[in-house]
Amino acid sequence: MSQQQQQQPYRWVIVAAGGLLGCVAAGAMFSLPVFLRPMAQDTGWSVTGISTAMTFGFLAMALASLGWGHLSDRIGPRPVVLAGSVVLAGSLALASRAQSLAGFQLLFGLLVGGATAAVFAPMMACVTGWFDTQRGLAVSLVSAGMGMAPMTMAPLAAWLVTEQGWRSAMLVIAGVAALLMIPAALLVRRPPALEGDAAASGPVAGAPPDMALGQALRSRQFILLMLANFFCCATHSGPIFHTVSYAVTCGIPMIAAVTIYSVEGLAGMAGRIGFGLAGDRFGAQRVLVIGLLAQAFAVLAYASVSQLGSFYAVAVVVGFIYAGTMPLYAVIIRENFPLRMMGTIIGGTALAGSLGMSTGPLLGGLVYDRLGSYTLMYVASWGMGLAAMAVLMAFRPFPLRKMAGAPA
């Protein structure tokens, strides 16, 4: 019995730890939309200025993703994820005490965003290495854990900010992050296949086993996946960040508006599992192309709603689709690149995705501050979605190669 077969039960511990880490990290960072209007009213800072902190956060994620991912390839995911957990909790605590907009943008944007990047790419790469079978399901479950943030952290943040104000609420979120993430990070282990040098290259279908990292980063496949992820994330970043604020401008109370975010997250749970299983059965690229097309029109539908029931209806569709598409990138990467560089390649696509995510908060804030309406933001998101679909349709896998020792 192989080492990996002996450790198969533990691979589900890795999935659970990854889901919890992602849930808390994403929930902490994406609590800012809940704080947006209370912060503006309390401090006098503009919606654009506060939204820019989120843009800085995504830029920091972009810059840090490749570095954290490459570091996890070299030293293993546990120290990387543990460091990110500590920095994330500390940064949130400091951001809750910020006395200036610039200080808040630095603490929440650069530090929280950079720390969050230490969770996503290393954990997704780690999970793909623990699974030779049921890989789509495993990655989807980790992603589903991340998707629980709108149903857990967002309602907690909304209740806290209503009861205690945004500063105390953010400080409590920092404490929750420390209490949950640090123990979970200690459970993370390097994939067994990477423990020995003989398996380090781990040939997979379509990927040359001796592919150099520089060759991989310059490949057409990697560049197209980066572009597709950029446009994909640019499609849903504005709607994710600003829909709660948009609902409030339509006369929906804050507590009720936050539930739209939660409905989106609940639908995303089903979407992640559904898209992951469909990708395993019908092909990840084919399913992802269809999902990107559907996502473009789904986010556009937000521009035509104003009542809570209508928001819920659109949120179910948007959440199911946008959340479902995200795990498929990791599956495509694992099918095309050697295991030993998973952290770097997933980190690179996460870099592009974070850049895409950085566009929505800032552009949406500018659109609202200047026009008093979010309609143009949703139209721009629709265009980005179509661009993502077009780029992914141009992707072609590496040619299939025979594995060493395989029968002719």
pLDDT digits (tens, 9 = 90+) for 139-197: 878 877 777 776 778 778 888 888 888 889 999 999 999 999 999 999 998 887 766 54
Over 80: is that where the pLDDT of 278 sits?
yes
Mean pLDDT of 320-349: 85
Band of pLDDT at residue 400, cut at 50, 70 and 90:
low
Residue 270 has pLDDT above 90, yes or no: no
Which of 119-128, 350-359, 398-407 has the weakest average pLDDT?
A: 398-407
Q: pLDDT band for position 235 (50/70/90)?
A: very high
pLDDT in tens, 27-47: 888 888 788 888 888 888 887
∠ Cα 27 31 36 (to 5°): 165
Decide which of 345 and 241 is more confident. Answer: 345
Q: How far apart are the first and last CA of the chain?
A: 26
pLDDT level of residue 328 (50, 70, 90 thresholds) = confident
What distances in angstroms separate CA 388 from CA 222, 230, 375, one per listed residue? 14, 8, 20
Length of the chain: 408
CA distance 380 to 187: 42
Averaged pLDDT of the chain: 83
The whole-angstrom distance between residue 257's C-alpha and the CA centroid of its chain comes to 22
Residues contacting residue 130 through CB under 8 Å, at least 6 positions apart: 4, 11, 14, 15, 138, 191, 192
- Give Rg (Cα) of the chain: 20
Q: Which carries the bigger pLDDT value, residue 228 or residue 256? A: 228
Instruction: Band the pLDDT of 287: cuts 50, 70, 90.
Output: very high
- Asked if the model's pLDDT at residue 403 lies above 60, the reply is no
> What is residue 393's predicted lDDT score, i.e. its pLDDT?
94
Question: Which of 86, 116, 89 has its CA nearest to residue 177?
Answer: 89
| Burial annotation 207-230 (CB, 10 A radius, 16+ → b, else e) | bbeebeeeebbebebbebbbbbbb
Q: What integer pLDDT is reported at residue 96 of this predicted model?
A: 87
Q: Which distant-in-sequence residues (6+ apart) come within 8 Å of 307 by Cβ? A: 250
The alpha carbon dihedral of 20, 24, 25, 27 has a sign of positive
> CA-CA distance, 220 to 336, in Å (whole number)?
12
Per-residue pLDDT, 179: 94
Task: Specify the amino acid at residue 366.
Answer: L
More confident residue, 292 or 196: 292
User: CA-to-CA distance for 332 and 399, rounded, in angstroms?
Assistant: 14
DSSP reduced 3-state for 339 = helix
User: Which alpha helices (DSSP H) does 30-112 contain, by range?
Assistant: 32-43, 47-75, 77-95, 101-104
Lowest mean pLDDT among 117-131, 223-237, 309-323: 117-131
For residues 204 and 117, which has the higher predicted lDDT (pLDDT)? 117
Segment 201-219 mean pLDDT: 68
Backbone angles phi, psi at 23, to 5 degrees: -60, -50
The confidence band for 80, taking pLDDT boundaries of 50, 70 and 90, is very high
Q: Which domains does the chain have, with CATH numbers?
A: 7-193+201-393 (1.20.1250.20)
pLDDT at position 301 is 93
Structure tokens given for 91: 């940064």
| Spatial distance between the Cα atoms of 127 and 143, rounded to a whole number of angstroms | 11
Q: Using an 8 Å Cβ cutoff, are 14 and 130 in contact?
A: yes
Task: For residues 239-267, give the mean pLDDT.
Answer: 83
In order of 164, 226, 241, 397, the CA distances from 35 in angstroms are: 12, 31, 11, 43
Distance CA 90, CA 113 (A): 12
String of b and e for 91-121 (b: at least 16 CB within 10 Å)?
bbbbbbebeebeebbbbbbbbbbbbbbbbbb
Q: For the chain, what percent of residues have pLDDT higher than 70?
A: 90
pLDDT of residue 213: 80
Cα 190 to Cα 208: distance, rounded to the nearest angstrom: 23
CB 189 within 8 A of CB 100: no
